[in-house]
Amino acid sequence: MPNQIQILYVAAFIMDMAVAGTTFTLLRRAGDSQADAVTLGLLGALWLAVYTGVALWSGRWSDRVGRRRVVAIGCVVSGAASFLCGLTESNWLLLVLTAGFGLGVGCFWPSMIAWLGDDAKDGHLMARLTKFNLAWNVGLLAGFGLSGWLYTLWPNGPFYIAGVMKLLLPILLLAPARPARDAASSFPKVEPVHVPKGRGFRQTAWVANFALMFGMGGLNALFPQVAAALDIEADSHGILLALSRGAAMTVFAMLQWLQFWRTRLWPLWVAQLMAAGGLCVVGSGEAFWLFAAGFIVVGAVSGYTYQASIMFTLEEISEKGKGSGFHEATLASGMCLGPLLAGWIGQQTAQLRAPYFFCGAVVVVLVMTQIVTVLMRRQQT
C-alpha cells in the first residue's frame, strides 16, 4: 500500500495532465476558429481570475475542515467543467465553464500544497517539494504533448479525457493509505540552509513568481495566433509547451542539489531578466528552433521562481494553508493578468508580436521594482 505523500505525487501528476489538456485545447480551438486577441486573452485569463480569488480562502478553509475534503471537491468541480467544455463551441459559454474550472482548481492546489507541507521540516520539506514539482511538471509535459497529438485526431477529445481523469481522482485521494514516511536516502545529504528572515526573501519571490507567470501566461495564451499565422501544426505547438515544462522540471531537480539560491536574491533577478530576453526572442523569431529556445528559457526560469516562492512561503509561515493560498494567488494573478493585458495590447496595436515584447518589458519593470524594494528595506533595517 502506498503512503499518503506518494499518493499526493500521483494526484499532482494526474491533475496537471488534465489541466494541460483542458487549457491547451481551449486556446488552440479558439485560435483555429480565428478568435481575436481579446477573446484569447479572456479565455486564458478568466479561470485564473477565479482561481486567484478562490486560492486566498480555500487554503485557510482546508486548515479548518481538512485537506482531503477540499481537494476532492476541487477535483469534482474542475472535472465537470472540463468535460462540459467539449460539448460547446460558444466562446461565451466556454467562459462560464472556465470560471467553474478555475473554482475547482483553486480549491485543489492550495490545499494540496499545504497537505504536502504538513509535518515536513528541513531536508524532508525540500525533498517533498522537489518530487511534487517534478510530478506536476511531468503531468503538464505529458498533457501538452499528448493533447497536441490528440487534438489533430479528435479536437474535443482532450476535454473529455481531462474531465474523466479529474472526476475519478477523488477515488485515489480518498483511498486508505499508510502514514507519510520520508526516506532519508532519497536525496543528497546536505546541511539544511534556512531562508534569512526579515530580508524580503518571501515577498521578493512572490513578485518574481508573479512576473514569470505574467510573462508565461501571455506567451501561452497569445501564441496560438502566431502558430496559426505561420502554419505551425498543433502537435508542434504542443511540443513547444512540453519543452517549456521539461526545462522547468530540470531546474526543479537541480535546485535540490544547490543551496546558494536560498540565501541570495541576485540570482533570482538575473534569471528573470533572462526570461524577459526569452520572451523577446519569441516576439522576433520566425524559425521553430528560435521559438523553442524562447519557450525553454521562460520555462526554466519559471521553475526557479516557483520553487523559490513555495519554499520561502512554507518555511516562513506556520499556517500552511494560508501561506499556500498566498503563493498560489500570486501565481494565478500573474497568469490571469498576462493573457488579459497582452491580448489587449495585441488588439490595440494590431501587431502580432507586440504582446511578447510587452510581457518582456513588464518582467524587467518588476525586477527593477524588486531590487529597489529590497534595497530600501535593508537601508531601513
* CA angle (293 as vertex; 331, 37 as ends), nearest 5: 55
Encode pLDDT of 79-97 as tens digits.
Answer: 999 999 999 888 889 999 9
Question: Which of 75, 69, 77 has the alpha carbon at shortest distance from 99?
Answer: 77
Domains of the chain: total: 1
DSSP letter (8 states) at residue 3: B
183 part of a folded domain: no
Q: Find where cell 489538456 sits.
A: 21
CB distance 21 to 147 below 8 Å:
yes
- Note the pLDDT of residue 90: 85
Side chain identity, residue 369: T
- Note the pLDDT of residue 71: 94
Q: Find where cell 521594482 sits.
A: 369
| Backbone phi and psi for residue 178, each to the nearest 5 degrees, phi listed first | -70, 155
| Backbone phi and psi for residue 313, each to the nearest 5 degrees, phi listed first | -65, -50
181 part of a folded domain: no
269 part of a folded domain: yes
243 part of a folded domain: yes
Range of the domain at 347: 4-175+194-380
For residues 293 and 290, what is the distance between their CA atoms, to the nearest angstrom? Answer: 5
- Count of alpha carbons within 13 angstroms of residue 14, beta-carbon side: 23
94 part of a folded domain: yes
Query: 119 CB contacts (<8 Å, ≥6 apart)?
Result: 180
CB distance 113 to 328 below 8 Å:
yes
Instruction: Please list the pLDDT of the chain residue by residue as tens digits (381 residues).
Output: 668 888 999 999 999 999 999 998 998 888 788 777 778 778 878 898 999 999 988 988 998 888 889 999 999 999 999 999 999 888 889 999 999 999 999 999 999 988 887 776 656 777 888 889 889 888 988 888 888 889 989 999 999 999 999 999 999 988 776 766 655 445 455 455 666 665 678 889 999 999 999 999 899 888 888 888 888 887 888 889 889 988 988 998 888 888 788 888 899 999 999 999 999 999 988 889 999 999 999 999 999 999 999 888 877 777 778 888 888 999 999 988 998 898 889 888 888 889 999 999 999 999 999 999 888 877 776
185 part of a folded domain: no
326 part of a folded domain: yes
For residues 200 and 263, what is the distance between their CA atoms, to the nearest angstrom? Answer: 11
Buried b (16+ CB within 10 A) or exposed e, 227-263: bbeeebebbebbbbbbbbbbbbbbbbbebbeeeebbe
CATH number for the domain spanning 337: value is 1.20.1250.20
Q: Find where cell 511578447 sits.
A: 356
Encode pLDDT of 13-26 as tens digits.
Answer: 999 999 999 998 99
- Note the pLDDT of residue 184: 47
Q: Is 376 exposed, middle or buried (0-12, 13-18, 19+ CB in 10 A)?
A: exposed
Query: 233 CB contacts (<8 Å, ≥6 apart)?
Result: 152
For residues 15 and 165, what is the distance between their CA atoms, to the nearest angstrom? Answer: 8
182 part of a folded domain: no
- Count of alpha carbons within 13 angstroms of residue 378, beta-carbon side: 13
- Note the pLDDT of residue 196: 61
- Note the pLDDT of residue 100: 96
Question: Which of 111, 98, 110 has the alpha carbon at shortest distance from 50?
Answer: 98
- Note the pLDDT of residue 339: 84
